[in-house]
Structure 1
């Protein structure tokens, strides 16, 4: 699922240095990136709605869950290494993740009424808030800021990986899933870190457009932003579920 974006590793300054500037095709623009991001979001929502309705159609939701998760993860890996393929694979990634998110949302909704609508609203509100903070330069994507976010995100990714490994030995980290005070604080920190990754995304999109990155990079940039939004949404769902258990 590629949910963790350590300084958004699929989209950072080194990536921009590697792709260089457009020589034979149109250059990347902010407007073009916004259009493609909107298109990917529509695909995610369409696939999520379809998966959401699976129980009503008496369909097994597990193929959507695992197919979406594994398919999305595989596509994310390919796109990361073959950036020029993003224009073809990013839509497929959006559909796969939409199926996955649809099933996850159904599972949470069955446990806590109204939680999905709350999570969607908070996710987009956070996106808009981060965009305003970035555009007004209240938060600046300085090198120090990026280093802090990178370290925090990498730490979270390693912690989740450790928790996954321990789960294979029936060892669970209580606060990771329980609604204790420590658990809620942990989820709040993760949500904040995910939100701060959006600032870096905005900065790199603006930088890519200013440097005249190739046109296909609009798709790659949109893919990177989508990965961050998916991570943010899942972490908000986790946080809300913990709050509902108190």
Structure 2
């Protein structure tokens, strides 16, 4: 069913189609919200710890950032391919990402005081705004809408991948790091695409609950939404840093 197309790699049509006739307890929106709240608490707790280590001048911050980034990436891959394990691994992913985000945030805040609070506030503000727009029907996850967002997201992913490869050869992509007009416009576009991903995620969660996906999909869907929120926060943080450098 084309209804379940999504650009989020952890929320795919085939996954819900396989689960549509699952027996036993089924996924609910309320259950997903509760689990998402728990994951956010786990992430923020780990972020506060990592942030505190930086403030204290601990030499453990860099290993926490690297370990969190690598650990989070590995856990995300495992969850994507072993979705039944999401209830066990999603909290670990939240902790790993929290360690990574806390350290990165502290480094940004050391250069521009208050930037982290601004980024956190804007991230939750965008989340709430997108949820309201989705629930009121102002923005609908139509097939055309999905195609546009998916295409844009894939394009951004390819661009970032190329930038990572070039950076190995000490070549920087100016749009990603530049605080000039084009660099800021690029970041604004990326933030907008990340925000629109939330609409697709909301739609996927709602449709999954309607189709009677198995109970563990509450963890899986919560994990998928957390992935989008982490991306959105990092892009907003990058955008604010560009404004501060001007």
TM-score if structure 2 supplies the norm length? 0.96
CA displacement at 1:129 relative to structure 2: 0.2
Q: Distance in 2 between matches of 1:117 and 1:21?
A: 44
Gaps of 5+ in 2: 1-5
Matched residue, 2:26: 27
CA displacement at 1:178 relative to structure 2: 1.5
Q: Distance in 1 between matches of 2:78 and 2:221?
A: 15
CA displacement at 1:14 relative to structure 2: 2.3
Q: Distance in 1 between matches of 2:137 and 2:13?
A: 19
- Range with bigger deviation, 51-60 or 224-233: 51-60
Matched residue, 1:206: 206
Matched residue, 1:15: 15
Q: Distance in 1 between matches of 2:146 and 2:222?
A: 19
Matched residue, 1:197: 197
Q: Does 1:160 align with 2:160?
A: yes
Verify the 8 A CA contact 1:146 1:200 in the aligned structure 2: yes
Q: Does 1:145 align with 2:145?
A: yes
| Runs of 4+ displaced beyond 4 Å | none
CA displacement at 1:7 relative to structure 2: 1.1
Q: Distance in 1 between matches of 2:211 and 2:174?
A: 47
Name the SS for the 1:219 alignment partner.
helix
Cα RMSD for the two superposed structures: 1.0
CA displacement at 1:51 relative to structure 2: 0.3
Name the SS for the 1:183 alignment partner.
helix
Matched residue, 1:122: 122
CA displacement at 1:59 relative to structure 2: 3.9
CA displacement at 1:57 relative to structure 2: 6.1
TM-score if structure 1 supplies the norm length? 0.96
Q: Does 1:46 align with 2:56?
A: no
CA displacement at 1:125 relative to structure 2: 0.2
Write the deviation string for residues 60-95 of structure 1: whole angstroms up to 9, x where unpaired: 211111110000000000000000000110000000
Matched residue, 2:174: 174
